[in-house]
Structure 1
Amino acid sequence: MGRSWALGDLLSTLFERRAPTGAASGDAPLPDLCRALMSGRGEVSGMKLAAAALSRWRAADAAERLAFFRFLADEMDVDPVALGEAARAYEGSRDTAHLTALLTAAEPPRQELLRRLNQAPGGTADLVAMRVALMKAAEEEPGLGRVDLDFRHLFASWFNRGFLVLRRIDWDSPAALLERLIAYEAVHEIQSWDDLRRRVAPKDRRCFAFFHPALPDDPLIFVQVALTRGIPGAIGPILSKDREPLPPAEADTAIFYSISNCQAGLRGISFGNSLIKQVVEVLGAELPQLSTFATLSPIPGLVRWLDDTGIAHPVGPAEVRALAARYLLEAKARDGQPRDPVARFHLDNGAEVHAIHADADLSPRGQSQSLGAMVNYRYDPARVEDNHETYATAYHVVATREVKALVTPGADRARGTRD
């Protein structure tokens, strides 16, 4: 544990940017500060201008922020005329100089602006927060979506797996970090500090998170793990305050029961696949007797699908399981992938639909989203790659015979319907 945090401290030190003295006040309009930043060449002056621009951004109201996004979309966009000329020139003479000119013309100036803004102390965190506001604005003005493409392009590089650090979080972790876990938990709400302690302190519980050196104290994503005997079919016993901890040496199964993305501004940047794979490796090395790795996952779209398709809500556990199986195996989004977002995530990672349980989540959220049903997605290290390829080529849902047997013909069946 200590070595992990020490490594994180070292990396954050390497990435730290110290603010230059005499930074600009940021009183100028935000577009003017950005134009000056783009015209400058000195590193120190650039850091001052970047810090001033981001300071101005943080103080801006909604109207000024929207005007800034429009500035990025219009003035900082690709010049289509220059791009066309560069493409024609490269078509006629495929040399390095013309390719360089083409690549330069194809990159919107706002990408370089974002790189320069990132020079400021805390710039990465500011840009991640900026994207949250941008995504909201783009819902009203779809033309701003092209600006978001550039944020996603840069974030995909800046938050590449090679820069991420895996850390285990336990009860001895800094209090500020533990508070963030409470705030970020998105699957099973953490009710109190005692509830949190039950999830990270016992010897049969684990919590791992990815961190980035530019955000050393703020997790990007974290997963909570229960060490068990066998694959559980309900969340209640896992979260129970009265349960008896299991000696880790007696566990044969690792259950991933909650995965939470922490940074709304990094939506669309995938970390979960790498997180699960690395945690499986860590747990396998620590506890070599573990033979099964699986999830106990919610089925968040089940009730909405029932309502959208006009299917009456089932009243018995067998019927709940049957309709949940049909939903997971057959309900499709417009792109052909499974409609359920959690299913898409795990199936794309190479898991299989292993088992479906009724009355597994009795919380108000569990009842309202899935009538209390939950599902196990199993990660078999020997089959993960094949399962992923099967899913990636045709969006085929890999499932056990038991799950497939739950889906029986019915009069209202609409196989493969796009919702």
Structure 2
Amino acid sequence: MKQTLVGQFFNSIADAGRELLDRGAGKSRSHTIEGVCRDLMTQKGEASGMALAREVVGLWHKAEDDQRLAFMEFLLKEVSLDSEKVDEAVKAYESDKSFENRRALAAALEAPRQELMRRINFAPGGTAAIVDMRKFLVSYLRKKPELRAVDADMQHLLVSWFNRGFLEIEEINWKTPAVVLEKLIKYEAVHEITGWDDLRRRLDQDRRCFAFFHPALPEEPLIFVEVALVKGLAAAVQPLLDLEGERLDPTKADTAIFYSISNCQEGLKGISFGNFLIKQVVSELSAELPNLKHFSTLSPIPGFMKWFAEFEGRTGRLSKDEIDNVKKEMLDKDWFNKEEVSSKIKEPLEQLVAHYLVNEKSRNRPLDPVSRFHLGNGARLERINWLGDISENGMKQSAGLLVNYYYSLKDIERNHEAYINDRQVVASSSILSLAKDN
């Protein structure tokens, strides 16, 4: 209700501004998205500014892809940095490092498109529109790398607007509005939710689901995590997803397994919420269920098979011939259902996964994105689980193997510091032994 009243209030202001604009400009005013943005940048009145911002939002939602791309080009070329003003501000600051000159330099270094975005954000639905604009922009960055400057400015603003202090955590359950539940089904990115029965199981008595929301997007989850309450570290995901599986009394569980974390908004790519969410959920679960002693993930290894397919040569433990033999055996798409084959390649494949997780790096960080995420949050790489996910996606990504990243409450900060400062992959002795290069 609060959001509705606020929206009605802002819309009434915009309506008043619309009347003023129509009275002053009549039919001569531009109604293209670029033209309205030019008017918006010159308007100083709140009512007229809000009316123009609302018009931009409406035009964006109606625009075809070619019109949207033209708008991005407009943001790049027409409301970009003024190089001459920057040079003048730099010279002034170099000659006199006063507060006024420093402030003038900072202003010169901010592209006018940032102020344009702030003004669009003032409209009802403005935040959602800007998130959608960035979603569109991100999808074109490979084709149009010159637009990265626009993306950087949008991301800079969104990082501030979606600061952790603005986010609200909510537990998702069967009483949650259907519009939100439908979006969980839509956004699940790790283990597909096949329908309402599947969702009901994931929200059952021995399951929990938590999501972050932003006040400007009240019915749009930003990220959500699914949790299974179990005994001991779970080694496979299929039993957790089984609709007919036994329901456990949550007060009898000793472990919370984070088995799926899904980012929902492509327009917020590069803005991390997951680290805050996991720590918040650990706090929430610890308060609700003091019987929980262990917190761990059951995570995919999304980059492994791509790396393995391209890997040539040997590791310290495995010769090139041994690795080639594993690849040969895995050409049979049903290899994991054949005991003779799976038992033969189990040990070398686990060694390869351990090597990949511990030793393969990009810019001195683990090559695998899920590993970077959890190690950066202070988790420990605990255990590799053989054939923990035999779904089509699980086999495609990581040959069916899953990983437990263990969150030891007393070690989280120490592990985080070891990873951030010393670039250390904090792992259990069993994984380190598997990953040894000699």
1:372 aligned onto 2:368: no
Distance 2:215 2:4 in 1: 4
Distance 2:242 2:165 in 1: 37
Deviations along 1:55-102, one digit per CA (max 9) or x if unpaired, are: 122222222222211111111111122112112212222222212211
1:281 aligned onto 2:283: yes
Specify the alignment match of 1:69 in structure 2: 72
Distance 2:247 2:82 in 1: 63
Q: Secondary structure at 1:356's aligned position in 2?
A: strand
Per the alignment, do residues 17 and 376 of structure 1 end up closer, same or farther by CA in structure 2, a change over 3 Å counting? farther
Distance 2:3 2:207 in 1: 27
1:56 aligned onto 2:37: no
| Aligned with 2:167 (options 164, 168, 185) | 164
Distance 1:330 1:337 in 2: 9
1:122 aligned onto 2:125: yes
Distance 1:146 1:17 in 2: 35
1:345 aligned onto 2:337: no
Alignment identity in percent?
48
Q: Is the 8 A contact 2:230 2:248 kept in 1?
A: yes
Q: Aligned-pair distance for 1:394?
A: 3.5
Deviations along 1:204-260, one digit per CA (max 9) or x if unpaired, are: 110000000000011000000011110010001111122111111111111000000
Q: Secondary structure at 1:245's aligned position in 2?
A: coil
Q: Secondary structure at 1:256's aligned position in 2?
A: strand
| Aligned with 1:21 (options 11, 15, 23) | 15
Specify the alignment match of 2:236 in structure 1: 234
1:330 aligned onto 2:324: no
Q: Aligned-pair distance for 1:357?
A: 0.8
Letter in 2 for 1:343: S
1:401 aligned onto 2:395: no
Per the alignment, do residues 114 and 350 of structure 1 end up closer, same or farther by CA in structure 2, a change over 3 Å counting? same
Distance 2:408 2:212 in 1: 23
Per the alignment, do residues 332 and 339 of structure 1 end up closer, same or farther by CA in structure 2, a change over 3 Å counting? same
1:188 aligned onto 2:195: no
Specify the alignment match of 1:143 in structure 2: 146
| Aligned with 1:300 (options 299, 302, 307) | 302
Identify the structure with the greater helix proportion.
Answer: 2
Deviations along 1:275-310, one digit per CA (max 9) or x if unpaired, are: 000000011111112111100001111111111113
Distance 1:58 1:307 in 2: 42
Distance 1:409 1:332 in 2: 15
Per the alignment, do residues 408 and 92 of structure 1 end up closer, same or farther by CA in structure 2, a change over 3 Å counting? closer
Distance 2:392 2:221 in 1: 27
Q: Is the 8 A contact 1:12 1:213 kept in 2?
A: no
Distance 2:8 2:157 in 1: 19
List gaps (5 residues or longer) in structure 1: 1-8, 411-419
Q: Is the 8 A contact 1:318 1:358 kept in 2?
A: no
1:392 aligned onto 2:392: no
Q: Aligned-pair distance for 1:120?
A: 1.0
Q: Is the 8 A contact 2:30 2:36 kept in 1?
A: no
How many residue pairs align between the two structures? 400
Distance 2:404 2:4 in 1: 37
What's the Cα RMSD here? 1.8
Letter in 2 for 1:364: E
- TM norm structure 2: 0.88
Letter in 1 for 2:10: R
Letter in 1 for 2:236: A
Distance 2:258 2:7 in 1: 31
Letter in 1 for 2:264: C
Q: Is the 8 A contact 2:57 2:125 kept in 1?
A: no
List gaps (5 residues or longer) in structure 2: 23-28, 313-322, 331-341
Q: Is the 8 A contact 1:135 1:148 kept in 2?
A: yes
Per the alignment, do residues 136 and 93 of structure 1 end up closer, same or farther by CA in structure 2, a change over 3 Å counting? same
| Residues 18-27 or 321-330, more deviating | 18-27
Q: State which structure, 1 or 2, has the greater radius of gyration over its C-alpha atoms.
A: 2
Deviations along 1:295-332, one digit per CA (max 9) or x if unpaired, are: 00011111111111134336432232221111111111
Distance 2:99 2:108 in 1: 14
Per the alignment, do residues 162 and 11 of structure 1 end up closer, same or farther by CA in structure 2, a change over 3 Å counting? farther
| Aligned with 1:82 (options 68, 80, 85) | 85
1:290 aligned onto 2:300: no
Letter in 2 for 1:105: A
Per the alignment, do residues 87 and 62 of structure 1 end up closer, same or farther by CA in structure 2, a change over 3 Å counting? same
Specify the alignment match of 2:319 in structure 1: none
Letter in 2 for 1:65: R
Distance 1:71 1:14 in 2: 31
Specify the alignment match of 2:104 in structure 1: 101
Q: Secondary structure at 1:18's aligned position in 2?
A: helix
